[in-house]
Amino acid sequence: MHNLPDVPWSYQSVGGRDHLGSGHVYILDANGRKIASLWGKPEEKLALAEAICDLSEKLARKAA
């Protein structure tokens, strides 16, 4: 599919206790491989991660 990593994608937020996006936020492909890192304010990173993952689910359904 256009040479994109396997979909659907998910995200992982890592950091200290109660991090909720204040640490690193990574986009993971369908195999759990880190394919992107997001930068910005915690709430922006989490919102962007959700949007990216939602779009990847649509791509996965379209490809099926």
What value does the mean pLDDT take over residues 9-29?
A: 87
Give the pLDDT confidence of 28-58 residue by residue, as tens digits: 999 999 999 999 999 999 999 999 999 999 9
Per the domain annotation, does 37 fall within a domain?
Answer: yes
Residues in the chain: 64
Which residues make beta-bridge pairs with 33?
A: none
Per the domain annotation, does 19 fall within a domain?
Answer: yes
- Within 10 A of 25 (CB to CB), how many other CB atoms are there? 23
Domain that includes residue 55, residue range: 10-63
Per the domain annotation, does 54 fall within a domain?
Answer: yes
Q: Among 18, 17, 27, 19, which Cα is nearest to 48's?
A: 27
Over the chain, what is the mean pLDDT? 91
The pLDDT of residue 17 is 65
| C-beta of residue 47 within 8 angstroms of C-beta of residue 37 | no
Per the domain annotation, does 4 fall within a domain?
Answer: no
pLDDT cut 70: percent of the chain above it: 92
Note the pTM of the prediction, 2 decimals. Answer: 0.87
Q: How many domains does the chain have?
A: 1
The pLDDT of residue 20 is 74
